[in-house]
């Protein structure tokens, strides 16, 4: 906009550069409308099931790397709100998936050292406090995820993980 004003008010007037600047401003304004759509379609959490939802919505299969021109031809801006909703759901499901994976990774390096105690076995060593804290934290995380409306695609895995933690 500043260039448009500068070309418009300069002496001598510069109509051709002013027109080029106006055209660029107009194109950028049109492009801004597509930024939320691009952000929604490029969401790293989108899985095949989400692209199926998008296909059902716009009645055409699109990919993450779809060209903007193709999206414009599909008049995808009509579906902006619904695309953002699908993308938000994908993000929250992806967050649950990453949390599950991180919890599994947190347990991998831990060693459970046991010693005999009165006919049974108990944990020993310095890691007991770390294991107990991690166990409590992960039980709470698993139960929180289980109550999430975005957990349905991972509910079996979350329930299995929660049961393992509770038995531990």
**pLDDT tens track for 126-160:** 778 888 899 999 999 999 999 999 998 999 999 99
Asked if 147 contacts 155 with a C-beta cutoff of 8 angstroms, the reply is: no
Interval 33-67: pLDDT, tens? 889 998 998 899 999 999 999 999 988 888 877 88
Residue 70 has pLDDT above 90, yes or no: no
pLDDT digits (tens, 9 = 90+) for 106-118: 988 888 888 898 9
Q: How far is CA 30 from the centre of its chain?
A: 26
Query: Which pLDDT band holds residue 16 (cuts at 50, 70, 90)?
Result: confident
Residue spans of the domains in the chain: they are: 33-167
- Assess whether pLDDT exceeds 80 at residue 7: no
């Amino acid at each position: 906009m500043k260039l448009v004003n500068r070309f418009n008010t300069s002496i001598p007037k510069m109509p051709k550069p002013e027109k080029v600047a106006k055209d660029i401003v107009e194109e950028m304004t049109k492009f801004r409308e597509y930024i939320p759509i691009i952000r929604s379609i490029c969401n790293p959490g989108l899985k095949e099931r989400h692209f199926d939802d998008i296909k059902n919505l716009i009645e055409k299969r699109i990919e993450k790397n779809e060209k903007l021109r193709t999206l414009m031809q599909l008049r995808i801006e009509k579906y902006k709100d619904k695309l953002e909703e699908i993308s938000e759901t994908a993000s929250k499901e992806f967050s649950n998936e990453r949390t599950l994976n991180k919890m599994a990774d947190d347990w991998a390096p831990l060693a459970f050292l046991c010693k005999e105690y009165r006919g049974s076995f108990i944990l020993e060593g310095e890691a007991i406090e770390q294991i107990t804290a991690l166990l409590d934290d992960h039980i709470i995380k698993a139960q929180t995820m289980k109550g999430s409306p975005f957990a349905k695609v991972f509910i079996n895995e979350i329930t299995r993980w929660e049961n393992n933690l509770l038995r531990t």
